[in-house]
Amino acid sequence: METLAQQLILGVTNGMVFALIALGYTMVYGILELINFAHGDLFMLGSFLALTLIKVFDLPTASSATLLLALPTIAVACAVFGGALNWSVDRLVYKPLRSAPKLAPLVSAIGVSFIFQNLGLFWGGLPLFGSAKDASAQKDVPALISNVNLLGEGAHLRITTKDLMVIVSSVIVMVALYVLVRHTRLGKAMRATAQNPAAARLMGIDVDRVIGATFVIGGGLAGIASVIYALYINTVHYQAGFQNGLYAFTAAVLGGIGNIPGAVLGALVIGVVRALCSQYIGAQWEPAVVFGMLILLLVFRPAGLLGSHVREKV
Amino acid sequence: MSEDKDRQVARRGPRSRTTTIALLFLAVVVLCVYPHFPFVDRLFEAIGHPILLDRKLVSIFIFGILALALNVQVGYAGLQQLGIAAFFGIGAYTTGILTVEKYPFHVGFWGAIVAAPVCAAIAGLAIGAPTLRLRGDYFAIVTLGFGEVVRTIILNLEGITDGPRGLNPIPDPWLPPAVAESSADPARVKYLALYYIAFVLLVGLAIVFRNLERTRLGRALVALREDELATACMGINPVRIKLVALAVGAGLAGLAGALYSTTLTTTAEPSTYDFNYSIMVLCCLIIGGVGSLRGAILGAVVLFGFDNIVSPLITELLQPFAAASSGNVFLQFNNWRWIIFGLALVLMMRFRPEGLWPSSRMKAELHHEDEGPLSKVGP
């Protein structure tokens, strides 16, 4: 029973990080019907930036008051970086392909993903991370946030400061996103564009600006997720984007792609399933279980857990 | 407007067609005699950088078959398939299980070359039947997921697949005694046999598909790629046609898997058959031209040639510099591989979406963007 509860906590915490990445996938898909394969790798580059900033400012030796100020600053920096990068990619790569067959932006996104992975490899080869020979090695992130059990060291369950940091910061970001999408003009324009781009344009919405804003927000969320991930998992690797991106994308589909609360729900489900799978079946079976679940879900409920069935636009 | 297009295609048709046929014929003749007269290899050996092209040609043929397999699914039927490596892997492992010492089957290469495509095609039907009615991009996700599931299963069922070690040794193909005794060196005989088997299969498949394009099924496939709704309205059952394309493509990928594992004498480690491999095969089509037979084969030659011949050669030539800089990550050519592939994909999609050597039909369509059926109304 305790193991189960412990795995649930682990799953929810992991799921929160996936949720932040999944939101970027789902928002872009909702508007463009594009699977942005580069999104996971954007997240990976963000985590490299986070680690670089931590090393440059020598945070492991800083006092906890400095940390309290520095970490949110790093999160903002990574969010800006992610948003700017995502926006530039859209401008340079996807935008000229808006009227091309659907395979074209999909393939371009895979191309961008390859480029990002390679940049991540080069980033890891910078002198800052030690010998250039180990460019492809996993980089350790110093443990800046203590791993103390909040329930007291003797307790059976472990909920650490780190878990709390992940959950609290993710929830803050999600609430901010919810307010943005539900209660601002931009959010309204985004929802309208997702529903019907042509009609939105006729209503005087600048669809190109809305798409740009979506990429900025999605990239920003991935940037914040990358900081949280780096501080939580304590490693950074140039291939981490691919696997995490795939899981996050699965989460987005699971919740009903294009559906914002659905992405969060899907990510929590994926997090919990992964945790339970590694506890009871074996960690090496995780991909098979997660993707098997995805296939079954698509067969029986293609619209996802929260999505409503939409007839294909003709 | 469309009459104009037809006339345009017809006008440039005959001359360029004769040239194309002459070129292809020349290529076939050269490749037929190449193992006995490997002039390119002699040239590179003479300058001190052997590239083993004669060996690598076998792999290029196999890779070409794989590209043709994916072309049936992506190029003809317009399916967004991101998991071709799974069927390739199923073919390789079927061959492994049916031929290695460890299992009681011992059907040999000729049995496996029949069984592997059948198994892969059945897998294709099994995954396709319930999921083909899904929208295009959902199908892409299903195939991606299926690829990961198959890879994980192969990796983890160690009792059956020997896990990361792969199944080996896979025996050499049985050959008629007259052929087998034609040379004193059994390795040479095996190489020649596989060379010609792969070559004949590749050329044969290309001819079959060339003719298929003019049959009822071929036209139905292309119609489906262009406009599924209109095709359905014309009385063609889209799901059935897609299933056929999926099964044929999967079966051919299985065939390629059987050849691949026999050439290597092992099924190779399961991580060979991962998502990146699927994408590499997709890249062949993109580079050569989606829906174009000659493009798919050209793409396979360009991509495989770059990855296995040009890239190692450049690495070798750069060796003195890389060694001097104590393993600087930027100076190793290999580390630029994914940037080069990524840029190639992005630039191709932007500036030459029809590929390097497109079929005249695709080219005509993609260059009449405002009226072509492929140009969906974007947001």
Q: Say yes or no: B363 contacts chain A, CB-CB below 8 A.
A: no
Q: Say yes or no: B140 contacts chain A, CB-CB below 8 A.
A: yes
Residue B33 falls inside a structural domain: no
Give how far Cα B76 sits from Cα of A12, A166, A299, B13, B81, Å: 44, 47, 24, 21, 12
Residue B42 falls inside a structural domain: no
Residues of B in contact with A135 (CB under 8 A): 329, 335
CB pair distance less than 8 Å for B137 and A35: yes
Per-residue pLDDT for chain B (379 aa), expressed as one digit of tens each?
A: 445 555 554 455 556 778 888 888 898 999 998 988 888 888 888 888 888 888 899 999 999 999 999 999 998 988 889 999 999 999 999 999 999 988 998 898 999 999 999 999 999 999 999 888 887 778 888 899 999 999 999 999 988 888 888 888 899 999 888 888 887 888 889 899 999 999 999 999 999 999 998 899 999 998 888 888 899 999 999 889 999 999 999 999 999 999 999 999 998 888 889 988 998 999 899 889 888 888 999 999 999 988 888 888 888 888 777 666 656 777 778 888 899 989 999 999 999 888 888 877 777 776 654 444 444 444 3
CB pair distance less than 8 Å for B151 and A312: no
CB pair distance less than 8 Å for B141 and A298: yes
Q: Per the structure, how many domains does chain B have? A: 1
Specify the residue for token string 């299963």: B153
From first CA to last CA, the distance across chain B in angstroms is: 25
Nearest residue on chain B to A134, alpha-carbon basis: B329
Residue B229 falls inside a structural domain: yes
From first CA to last CA, the distance across chain A in angstroms is: 51
Residue B269 falls inside a structural domain: yes
Give yes or no for a contact between A28 and A229, defined as CB atoms under 8 angstroms apart: no
Supply the pLDDT for residue B343: 93
**H or E stretch including B208?**
helix B186-212
Residues of A in contact with B349 (CB under 8 A): 97, 100, 104-105, 107-108, 111
Q: Which residues contact B42 (CB under 8 A, 6 or more apart)?
A: none
Q: Which two tokens stand for residue A139?
A: 């980089």
ipTM of the complex: 0.88
Range of the domain at B212: 54-278
CB pair distance less than 8 Å for A132 and B329: yes
CB pair distance less than 8 Å for B345 and A295: no
Q: Of the candidates B67, B49, B57, which has an alpha carbon nearest to the alpha carbon of residue B33?
A: B57
CA quadruple A174, A178, A181, A184: dihedral positive or negative?
negative
Per DSSP, the three-state class of A149 is strand
CB pair distance less than 8 Å for B80 and A103: yes
Residue B317 falls inside a structural domain: no
Per-residue pLDDT reduced to its tens digit, A58-76: 888 888 888 889 999 999 9
Q: What is the DSSP letter of A160?
A: B
Residues of B in contact with A115 (CB under 8 A): 338-339, 342-343, 346
Q: Say yes or no: B351 contacts chain A, CB-CB below 8 A.
A: no
Partner A, chain B 254-313, Cβ-Cβ below 8 Å: 275, 279, 282, 286, 290
Residues facing A236 on adjacent strands = A139
Q: Say yes or no: B126 contacts chain A, CB-CB below 8 A.
A: no
Supply the pLDDT for residue A309: 55
Q: Which two tokens stand for residue B231?
A: 């095709």
Supply the pLDDT for residue A20: 93
Q: Which amino acid is at A190?
A: M
Supply the pLDDT for residue B259: 96
CB pair distance less than 8 Å for B349 and A298: no
CB pair distance less than 8 Å for A298 and B327: no
Averaged pLDDT in 10-residue chunks for chain A of 314 residues:
89 93 91 90 96 90 87 95 97 92 88 94 84 77 84 81 92 94 94 91 94 96 95 91 88 86 93 93 91 88 72 45
CB pair distance less than 8 Å for A125 and B286: no
Residues of A in contact with B282 (CB under 8 A): 107, 110
Q: Say yes or no: B153 contacts chain A, CB-CB below 8 A.
A: yes
Residue B248 falls inside a structural domain: yes
Q: How big is chain B by its Cα radius of gyration, in Å?
A: 22
Whole-angstrom distance, CA of residue B170 vs CA of residue B103:
11
Q: Of the candidates B167, B146, B170, B162, which has an alpha carbon nearest to the alpha carbon of residue B274?
A: B146
Minimal Cβ distance to B346: which of A103, A108, A118: A108
CB pair distance less than 8 Å for A294 and B141: yes
Q: What angle do CA B37, B42, B45 make, to 5 degrees?
A: 155
Q: Which amino acid is at B242?
A: K
CA-CA-CA-CA torsion for B5, B10, B12, B15, nearest 10 degrees?
A: 170
Whole-angstrom distance, CA of residue A201 vs CA of residue A207:
6
Q: Domains (ranges, CATH) in chain A? A: 2-127+134-147+154-300 (1.10.3470)
CA A203 to chain centre: 32
Partner A, chain B 168-227, Cβ-Cβ below 8 Å: none
At how many degrees (to 10) do helices A103-124 and A240-255 cross?
140
Cis? peptide before A101, omega within 30° of 0? no
Give yes or no for a contact between A28 and A36, defined as CB atoms under 8 angstroms apart: yes
Q: Which two tokens stand for residue A195?
A: 């529903």
CB pair distance less than 8 Å for B148 and A287: yes
Residue B315 falls inside a structural domain: no
Q: Which residues contact B126 (CB under 8 A, 6 or more apart)?
A: none
Supply the pLDDT for residue B372: 42
Residue B321 falls inside a structural domain: no
Task: Choose the mutation target among A44, A110, A113, A309 for the interface with B, i.e. most B CBs under 10 Å.
Answer: A110
Minimal Cβ distance to A287: which of B137, B152, B377: B152
Nearest residue on chain B to A206, alpha-carbon basis: B379
Task: State pTM to two decimals.
Answer: 0.88
Compute the nearest-CA separation of A219 from chain B (Å): 20
Minimal Cβ distance to A115: which of B142, B342, B369: B342
Give yes or no for a contact between B70 and B253, defined as CB atoms under 8 angstroms apart: yes
CB pair distance less than 8 Å for B353 and A119: no
Whole-angstrom distance, CA of residue B244 vs CA of residue B236:
13
Q: A with B: how many residue pairs have Cβ under 8 Å apart?
A: 161
